[in-house]
C-alpha cells in the first residue's frame, strides 16, 4: 500500500481534484467529497465530480455537495487527481481523459478486480470500503475532519458494510466508525437519508418489480423496466433500495436486479454472504465485492439469468 506516497503527493499539491465512478454509490461519492472537503479545510483548492450522467440521488442531499462540480467544469489536466472506488479507467466515464492527463493520478480502491492503473495505486481488497482508506489517508496527512467530512466518510463505510452487517465489518472498521461519530457524524440522520427515505412513487415501482420476482435455485431475480419508472414517476437513481429488498428473501443466497437501459440491462448483484457475486460480475465484464457487485449486459433476460446462475454454481 502506498498511503505515504499518496500523502506526500497530496501535501505538495496546490489543487486536489477527486472523482468517483460513474453513477456513484455512497462509498464512491462520500470518499471523493470527504477528501475534497478536508483538503479545502487544509488550505488547498479542491473539488469533486463524477462522469455523466451527472445526477445525484436525492437521498445524498445530506452530504457536502457544495464541493461537487459538473464533469464539464472538471479540469482537463488536473495537477493531482484522486479516483475513488474505481477498478478501471473506463469506470470514470467522461473523466477518464482527465485522469490520463493528470500530473499525478492516485487510485484508492478496494476492488480485487482493480487493474492497477494510476501513478500511485492504493488497492486494498481487505478494506471494507474506499471510505476506510480515505479516512486512513486523511489521518496520515493530519488534515481536518469536521462534521461534513466525518459524515461523508460515515456514509461511505455504512453503505459498503451493509450498515455494519456484512462480513467485511472488522474491528478496525468499528473503531473508525466510533471516531467518526465523535467527530460529528450522525448515524440516525445518515441512516434515515440513505435507507428510510423514498418518494411515494417508489412504492408503486417496488410493488411492481418485487411482485414479478422469481426464484431460480439460490438466486432471486427481478427486472426494473422503464415502464415501471414511468408508473411511479421516479428516476432510476431513486431505486437503489430495490436490490437489498430482493436480497432478504430467505430461500435465496443471492439477488439479481436487472434495470432496463437504452443498451440492454444494468445488473446489480447482492449476496447473503455465502456466494461471491463479485466474481460473477467480473466474469461479465463488471466489478464489485464479495457481497455487492454490478455489470452491464445487452440481454436477453433469460440469457443473463442463465449465465448468472451457472456462475453461481446453481
Q: H-type helices in 57-214, by residue range?
A: 96-101, 130-141, 147-160, 171-182, 187-195, 200-211
β-pairing verdict for 254-261 and 219-224: parallel
CA distance 135 to 153: 7
CATH of 200-311, one of 3.20.20.70, 3.10.310.30, 3.90.550.10, 3.60.70.12: 3.10.310.30
pLDDT in tens, 27-58: 999 999 999 999 999 999 999 999 998 988 88
What pLDDT, on the 0 to 100 scale, is given for residue 261? 94
The three three-digit cell numbers of residue 247, written as one number: 436480497
In what order do the strands lie in the sheet containing 120-123?
A: 45-49, 15-20, 80-84, 104-109, 120-123
Residue ranges of the chain assigned to CATH 3.90.1640.10: 3-195
Query: Could you read off the pLDDT of 132-178 as tens digits, one per residue?
Result: 999 999 999 999 999 999 999 999 999 999 899 888 899 999 999 99
The ranges of the chain annotated as CATH 3.10.310.30 are 200-311
Q: Could you say which residues of the chain have pLDDT below 50?
A: none
Name the CA dihedral angle for 94, 97, 102, 106, rounded to a multiple of 10 degrees.
60
CA pair distance 85, 110, nearest whole angstrom: 7
Q: How confident is the model at residue 313, as a pLDDT?
A: 85
For residue 287, the model assigns a pLDDT of: 82
CATH classification code of 3-195: 3.90.1640.10
State residue 1's pLDDT score.
57
pLDDT of residue 314: 63
The DSSP H or E segment spanning 228 is helix 226-232
**CB 80, CB 17: distance < 8 Å:** yes
Amino acid at each position: 500500500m502506498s498511503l505515504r506516497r499518496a500523502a506526500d503527493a497530496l501535501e505538495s499539491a496546490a489543487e486536489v481534484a477527486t472523482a468517483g465512478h460513474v453513477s456513484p454509490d455512497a462509498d464512491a461519492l462520500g470518499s471523493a467529497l470527504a477528501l475534497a472537503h478536508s483538503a479545502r479545510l487544509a488550505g488547498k483548492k479542491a473539488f469533486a465530480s463524477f462522469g455523466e450522467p451527472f445526477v445525484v440521488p436525492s437521498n445524498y442531499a445530506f452530504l457536502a455537495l457544495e464541493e461537487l462540480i459538473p464533469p464539464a467544469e472538471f479540469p482537463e489536466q488536473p495537477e493531482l487527481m484522486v479516483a475513488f472506488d474505481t477498478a478501471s479507467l473506463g469506470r470514470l466515464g467522461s473523466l477518464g481523459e482527465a485522469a490520463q492527463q493528470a500530473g499525478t493520478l492516485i487510485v484508492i480502491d478496494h476492488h480485487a478486480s482493480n487493474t492497477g492503473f494510476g501513478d500511485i495505486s492504493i488497492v486494498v481488497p481487505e478494506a471494507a470500503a474506499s471510505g476506510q482508506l480515505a479516512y486512513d489517508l486523511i489521518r496520515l496527512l493530519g488534515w481536518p475532519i469536521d462534521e461534513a467530512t466525518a459524515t461523508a466518510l460515515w456514509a461511505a463505510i455504512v453503505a459498503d458494510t451493509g450498515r455494519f452487517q456484512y462480513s467485511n465489518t472488522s474491528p478496525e472498521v468499528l473503531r473508525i466508525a466510533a471516531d467518526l461519530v465523535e467527530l460529528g457524524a450522525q448515524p440516525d440522520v445518515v441512516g434515515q437519508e440513505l435507507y428510510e427515505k423514498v418518494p411515494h412513487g417508489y412504492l408503486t415501482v417496488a410493488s411492481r418489480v418485487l411482485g414479478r420476482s422469481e426464484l431460480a435455485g439460490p438466486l432471486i431475480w427481478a427486472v426494473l423496466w422503464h415502464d415501471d419508472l414511468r408508473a411511479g414517476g421516479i428516476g432510476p437513481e431513486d431505486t437503489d433500495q430495490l436490490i437489498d429488498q430482493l436480497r432478504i428473501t430467505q430461500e435465496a443466497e443471492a439477488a439479481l436486479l436487472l434495470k432496463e437501459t437504452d443498451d440492454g440491462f444494468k445488473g446489480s448483484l447482492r449476496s447473503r454472504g455465502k456466494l461471491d457475486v463479485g466474481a460473477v460480475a467480473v466474469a461479465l465484464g463488471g466489478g464489485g465485492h464479495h457481497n455487492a457487485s454490478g455489470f452491464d449486459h445487452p440481454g436477453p433476460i433469460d440469457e443473463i439469468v442463465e449465465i448468472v446462475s451457472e456462475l453461481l454454481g446453481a
